Amino acid sequence: MIPEFRNEAPTDFSDEQNKNLMLKAIKDAKNEFGREYELVIEGWKVKSSDKFASINPSNPKQVVGYAYKADQGLAEQAMKSALTTFEEWKNVSPEIRARYLYKAAALMRKYKADLTAAIILENGKNWTEADGDVAEAIDFLDFYATRALHLAERQPLTRITGENNELYYIPLGVGVIISPWNFPLAILTGMTVGPLVMGNTIVLKPASNTPVVAAKFMEIMDEAGVPGGVINLVYGSGSDIGHYLVSHPRTRFVNFTGSKEVGLFIVEEGSKMQKGQEWIKRINAEMGGKNAIIVDCEANLDAALSCVIASAFGYQGQKCSACSRVIIDESIYDYFKEQLVEKTESIKIGPAEDQHNYMGPLIDQAAVDKFLNYVEVGQKEGKILCGGHLLDKGSYYVEPTIFDNIDPEARLAQEEIFGPLLSLIKAKDFDQALEIANNTDYGLTGSVYSNNWNKLEKARRDFYVGNLYFNRKSTSALVGVHPFGGYNMSGTGAKAGGNDYLLLFCQAKSVSEEL
């Protein structure tokens, strides 16, 4: 029987035992600081002539690890390895492929605290957020294994006399996986093991900010017994080897998650026919958002307040699902604004490894510069209500920041900032609030706070986002529960953690036998 999927439960850190386990895991992870991480090609650990440092954003002086950097020659070797391995892997049965995923999920459960510690230290996620990242990775493994087993079952076809007919799913070939840093384990795992369980082989290029967590993933896949060459891990610059792999004539599909700018570039480059190319590449590009929460005059404002804070400032606003616009009915605007500012000013900021800090640092200096630049833009476009500063020179800690009365067309209301910067926008009624919410190039997540059934029904129909939430926060989508992915410039329409996701990485073959 195919197992039923269940979501991994969050860890309760108020439990002394869990807390102590986490403290020990953080200590152990710090003892590993400065370790070197090799590329993995054909199952072999490979060093190159160049390496780069991954730093702890909570304390940029600390080097979490050094990753060897692949050049195009090594990327080519990884491609060759994936091509050769595909000839065997495509014939491994779905049951066996799924077994590797179930085992990897069990191993991630076993090493949960260590993985969480790695994310706390390499990403600057607080304990709860890092624990959620690991839980989601476990979910992707279990969920896609289960879905693959369902897809391997005999598919229903209409019967006709005199023929025996069958339809089944075969893999595509070599997939290039290009992942972002903001869910260094969950997104990387899901994007890789979905295609893998369908019989494709992989060249994986993780984000340069988070090579150490990518290495932990590879170690687990290796321990789970996934044969060498099925996943080839190459660290290196997106614009160099990332681009090289996307343009490669033997790349069959690209699975990308990241910014709109890079995603659109990949869509364009991936569509160019290369010499010797035999197929049209499939390109999945999951990109950014400019997500809005509508707070209606008929809403539970206390609930709305705490969920706006969580959606906008959880993980420092560095989630694709983060709220960056709150659209508030004018009759409650001033009250809501005052309460929101008061709550925001009490947020604790500091090193992610300290359990009591709600907000940690931004990911790197470039993110800090971008944030400060948008604070300047905001001061021309509206009034700053709180925040706006870098906490200490040389650090990556910035304050949660709110701007008042932003025009729906302003840059602050249109561009993805990817930091803790929230714009308040006034609406005269619910219809106008919906109009403002939809006034963006993106269409990823959205929330509505209202107790009015008619208004929720209107939003259900007209709020054009891939993930719409009523009376809850816009972040924390669960695998299998809230299949995730957006419209328009937010992506090409994959729903990660949904029933149809695996169909992106296979093709259906129909076989008909006359009797």
List active site positions.
Answer: 286, 320
Alpha-carbon Rg for the chain in angstroms? 23
Per CB under 5 A, the segment of 52-60, 156-164, 190-198, 267-275 that binds Mg ion is 52-60
Site residues, ligand NAP (CB under 6 A): 178-183, 187, 205, 207-208, 237-239, 242-243, 246, 257-259, 262, 265-266, 286-289, 320, 416, 418, 444, 485-486, 490-491
Q: How far is the CB of 123 from Mg ion (least distance, A)?
A: 7
Residues 284-323 that bind Mg ion (CB under 5 A): none
In total, the chain counts a number of residues equal to 515
User: What residue 313 binds from ligand NAP, Mg ion, none (CB within 5 to 8 A, per partner kind)?
Assistant: none
Residue closest to Mg ion, measured at CB: 54
Q: What are 380's two structure tokens?
A: 């021309």
Residue 54 binds which entry of Mg ion, ligand NAP, none, with Cβ cut-offs from 5 to 8 Å by kind?
Mg ion
Map residues 460-489 to x or -, x wherever contact with Mg ion holds by CB under 5 A: ------------------------------
Distance, CA of 436 to CA of 446 (rounded, Å): 12
Shortest CB 304 distance to Mg ion, Å: 34
Q: State the CB neighbour count (10 A cutoff) for residue 174.
A: 26
From the CB of 441, what's the least distance to ligand NAP, in Å? 12
Helix (H, G, I), strand (E, B) or coil at 411: helix
Closer CB to Mg ion, 169 or 315, in the complex: 315
The residues that bridge with 1 in the sheet, in sequence order, are none
Q: Distances from the Cα of 439 to the Cαs of 417, 466, 468, 474, in angstroms? A: 16, 15, 16, 18
Among the residue ranges 46-54, 246-254, 452-460, 506-514, the one whose residues contact Mg ion (CB under 5 A): 46-54
Nearer to ligand NAP, 381 or 416 (CB): 416
Q: Which does 246 bind (CB under 5 to 8 A by kind): Mg ion, ligand NAP, none?
A: ligand NAP
Complex with ligand NAP: residue 94 or 242, whichever CB lies closer: 242
Instruction: Please give the structure tokens belonging to residue 77.
Output: 């070797």
d(C-alpha 488, C-alpha 275), whole Å: 31
Q: How far is CA 414 from CA 116, 366, 384, 408, 428, in A?
A: 33, 20, 17, 7, 20
Min dist. Cβ of residue 419 to ligand NAP (A): 11
Part in contact with Mg ion (CB under 5 A); list of ranges 207-215, 313-321, 331-339, 411-419: 207-215
Q: How far is the CB of 209 from Mg ion (least distance, A)?
A: 5
Residue of 498, 489, 500, 499 whose CA lies nearest to 444 = 489
DSSP helix/strand/coil, 227: coil
- Using CB under 5 A as the binding rule, whether residue 401 contacts Mg ion is answered as no
Q: Which of 146, 179, 189, 209 touches Mg ion by CB under 5 A?
A: 209
Q: Binding segment for Mg ion among 51-59, 167-175, 186-194, 400-408 (CB under 5 A)?
A: 51-59
- Cβ of 237: how many Cβ atoms within 10 Å? 15
Compute the least distance from the CB of residue 247 to ligand NAP, in Å: 9
Rounded Cα–Cα distance for residues 449 and 471 (Å): 5
Structure tokens at 450: 């209202």
Identify the H or E element spanning 151: helix 127-151
For residue 51, the surrounding DSSP H or E stretch is strand 51-56
User: In whole angstroms, how far apart are CA 98 and each of 3, 196, 472?
Assistant: 11, 9, 34
Kindly tell me which residue out of 54, 58, 401, 423 binds Mg ion, with binding defined by CB under 5 A: 54
Chain residues in the site for Mg ion (CB under 5 A): 54-55, 209
